[in-house]
Amino acid sequence: MERSSSVDALATSFGEGDTYGGYLRTTNTGTGDHYGVVGLGYNDDSSPSFGVYGHAENSGDYSAPAYGGYFSATSGSSQGGCAAVFAAGTSPTWAGFFSVKVYVSESEHIEGSLNVVGSKNEAVKIDN
């Protein structure tokens, strides 16, 4: 498969500490939304299009996890919410699609209807 890229970066770590292939940030002044990275994917054939693609691999001798995407958010405002991931889609689609199991380590909040598809053994009883 041939690939084309407008930016290509490689960061190699030979010691301790974090390594970044790219580090982009915005200022915290001014009005309007501030984006550190914007990814847009356009296509005019039947292949899928991805705005952002992330892949991680831990091939060393260590048992550390690998994350294709890692997100964190902090808000100093008590006026609005704070979410590490915000997803929206246009109908008839989903804001998120997972082709593997999903693990939630804390509580979850679902506002709206919940549709569980699968056998009764796969469903979890929810007391309201």
Please count the structural domains in the chain: 1
Whether 116 is covered by a domain: the verdict is no
DSSP state of 121: T
C-alpha–C-alpha distance, residues 52 and 37, integer Å: 9
pLDDT for the residue numbered 124:
63
Whether 114 is covered by a domain: the verdict is no
C-alpha–C-alpha distance, residues 84 and 66, integer Å: 18
Type of residue at 66:
A
Whether 9 is covered by a domain: the verdict is yes
Task: Give ∠ CA 20-24-25 in degrees, rounded to 5.
Answer: 130
Whether 4 is covered by a domain: the verdict is yes
Whether 23 is covered by a domain: the verdict is yes
Give Cα separations from 93 to 44, 52, 76, 96 (angstroms): 19, 18, 33, 9
pLDDT for the residue numbered 115:
75
Type of residue at 24:
L
Q: Which domain holds residue 70?
A: 1-103
pLDDT for the residue numbered 121:
63
Whether 12 is covered by a domain: the verdict is yes
Whether 109 is covered by a domain: the verdict is no
Give Cα separations from 81 to 84, 86, 89, 104, 109 (angstroms): 10, 11, 19, 19, 13
C-alpha–C-alpha distance, residues 59 and 66, integer Å: 9
pLDDT, mean of each 10-residue run, the chain (128 residues): 73 81 82 84 85 81 79 77 80 79 82 74 61
Q: Is the pTM of this model over 0.85?
A: no
